[in-house]
């Protein structure tokens, strides 16, 4: 995956990429901005690569901090593609989030909270990704609940199901030009809706050209059968934005999941979710060194299981998420 970022470490290709991106955003003097920002963009990417490389060889005592600053460098590169004058002031260089510096005597990572500030990198980044506003604060367990790869660990640790796998039909329906997919029937009970009402519920969260429809063919017992329609793509796997719906997400292997539990934490982009969680972990190992050591090395903490799962996943997935944002496509890097 990081080899793909080499495309952005060449001045000529970076200039061309930035100019095209600025032109697509209708930014005046796109060629001038591309020339001015090429070196800055390249150094953001190179710095991020070094942070992630160092994190992969570092002890867990300091790894979250390295991963967090690697995230910051990647996000600054993305923001630069949307705002050629970034940073226009020192306020946008702040973290944009905060957490309680001094933790309580009894500390639970899942119950900790991250608060969103009015200014800084996070709210500024979010303004380019989502029209909906951010909450003032988020509980970490709710953020962990919306990362698909963590769902097995989440269910095991917290005894809750917040996502379920989507089964896609490989068959392409050329008569109706749609994708057939299946969900477990229990999702209807979870959202307290009938089958027809569930179709309307799905369509409320569309954010593109796609739409959902009921299937005329009855599904086997225990599952429900649905149709996904798109004017330009027959199969959802061919669409760069997937289902184009807030209720659906996908893991880094391209497998789709449906979000059963819906709240504000479920509507934010996954890059924002990773950023918030990693910020708290970075602050723990930076300012709460003794407590962080107890979490890492104590057999008494159940937090370490989820933290380790998240650190491993985020180191692999976050650069992939930003790469997708930069190129406006859904790229899947498979490990052979």
What are the residue boundaries of the structural domains of the chain, listed by start?
2-158+267-327, 163-260
Q: Is the pLDDT of residue 187 over 60?
A: yes
Mean pLDDT of the chain: 91
Which percentage of the chain shows pLDDT scores above 70? 95
When pLDDT is averaged across residues 270-292 and rounded to a whole number, the result is 93
Question: Which residues, at least 6 apart from 76, have a Cβ–Cβ distance to it below 8 Å?
Answer: 44, 86, 121
What are residue 227's DSSP bridge partners? 180, 213
Question: Which residues, at least 6 apart from 313, have a Cβ–Cβ distance to it below 8 Å?
Answer: 147, 149, 150
Q: Model confidence over 310-325: pLDDT tens digits? A: 999 999 999 999 999 9
Q: Is the pLDDT of residue 108 over 80?
A: yes
How does residue 92 score in pLDDT terms, banded at 50, 70 and 90?
confident
Question: Which residues, at least 6 apart from 221, have a Cβ–Cβ distance to it below 8 Å?
Answer: 185
Distances (CA, A) of 334 to 164, 235, 320, 330: 22, 20, 11, 13
CB–CB of 266/246 below 8 Å?
Answer: yes
Q: Is the pLDDT of residue 249 over 90?
A: yes
The structure tokens listed for 47 are: 């710095």
Q: How many CA atoms lie within 13 A of 262 on its CB side?
A: 17
When pLDDT is averaged across residues 178-190 and rounded to a whole number, the result is 94
Which residue's structure tokens are 């057999």?
A: 299
Q: Is the pLDDT of residue 262 over 80?
A: no
- pTM, rounded to two decimals: 0.92
Which residue's structure tokens are 């819906």?
A: 262
When pLDDT is averaged across residues 301-308 and rounded to a whole number, the result is 88
d(CA 126, CA 130): 6
Look at 127-131, 178-182, 226-230, 246-250 and tell me which has the smallest mean pLDDT: 127-131
Q: Is 100 helix (H, G, I), strand (E, B) or coil?
A: coil
How does residue 104 score in pLDDT terms, banded at 50, 70 and 90?
low
DSSP for 194-205, written as a single string:
-HHHHHHHHHHT
Sheet holding 97-98, edge to edge: 97-98, 113-116, 137-139
When pLDDT is averaged across residues 210-225 and rounded to a whole number, the result is 91
Range among 105-109, 278-282, 287-291 with highest mean pLDDT value: 278-282
Residue 212 is given by DSSP the state: E
How does residue 103 score in pLDDT terms, banded at 50, 70 and 90?
low
When pLDDT is averaged across residues 302-310 and rounded to a whole number, the result is 91
260 φ/ψ angles, rounded to the nearest 5 degrees? -80, -50
Which percentage of the chain shows pLDDT scores above 90? 69
Burial of 179 (0-12, 13-18, 19+ CB in 10 A): buried
303 φ/ψ angles, rounded to the nearest 5 degrees? -65, -35
Q: Is the pLDDT of residue 155 over 60?
A: yes
Q: Model confidence over 38-64: pLDDT tens digits? A: 999 999 999 999 999 999 999 999 999
Distances (CA, A) of 244 to 75, 203, 211: 22, 10, 9
How does residue 133 score in pLDDT terms, banded at 50, 70 and 90?
confident
For residue 173, the model assigns a pLDDT of: 61
How does residue 208 score in pLDDT terms, banded at 50, 70 and 90?
confident
How does residue 265 score in pLDDT terms, banded at 50, 70 and 90?
confident
Q: Model confidence over 80-89: pLDDT tens digits? A: 999 999 998 8
Question: No. of H helices and E strands in the chain?
Answer: 12, 10
């Amino acid at each position: 995956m990081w080899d793909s970022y080499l495309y952005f470490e060449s001045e000529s290709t970076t200039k061309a990429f930035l100019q095209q991106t600025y032109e697509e955003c209708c930014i005046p003097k796109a060629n001038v901005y591309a020339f001015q920002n090429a070196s800055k963009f390249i150094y953001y990417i190179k710095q991020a690569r070094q942070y992630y490389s160092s994190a992969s060889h570092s002890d867990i005592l300091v790894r979250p901090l390295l991963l967090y600053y690697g995230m910051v460098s990647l996000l600054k590169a993305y923001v630069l593609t949307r705002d050629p004058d970034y940073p226009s002031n020192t306020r946008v260089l702040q973290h944009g989030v905060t957490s309680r510096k001094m933790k309580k005597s009894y500390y639970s990572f899942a119950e900790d909270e991250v608060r969103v500030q009015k200014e800084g990198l996070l709210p500024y980044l979010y303004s380019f990704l989502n029209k909906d506003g951010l909450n003032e604060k988020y509980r970490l367990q709710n953020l962990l609940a919306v990362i698909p790869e963590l769902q097995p660990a989440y269910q095991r640790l917290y005894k809750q199901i917040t996502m379920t796998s989507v089964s896609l039909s490989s068959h392409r329906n050329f008569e109706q030009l749609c994708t057939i997919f299946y969900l477990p029937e229990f999702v209807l009970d979870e959202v307290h809706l009938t089958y027809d009402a569930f179709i309307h519920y799905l369509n409320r969260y569309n954010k593109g050209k796609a739409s959902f429809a009921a299937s005329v063919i009855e599904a086997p017992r225990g599952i429900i059968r649905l149709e996904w329609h798109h004017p330009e793509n027959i199969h959802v796997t061919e669409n760069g934005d997937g289902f184009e719906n807030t209720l659906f997400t996908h893991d880094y292997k391209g497998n789709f999941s449906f979000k059963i539990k819906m709240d504000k934490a479920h509507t934010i982009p996954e890059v924002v979710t990773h950023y918030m969680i990693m910020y708290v972990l970075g602050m723990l190992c930076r300012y709460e060194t003794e407590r962080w050591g107890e979490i890492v090395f104590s057999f008494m903490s159940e937090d370490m299981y989820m933290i380790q799962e998240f650190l491993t996943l985020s180191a692999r997935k976050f650069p992939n998420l930003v790469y997708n944002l930069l190129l406006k496509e859904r790229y899947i890097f498979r490990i052979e």
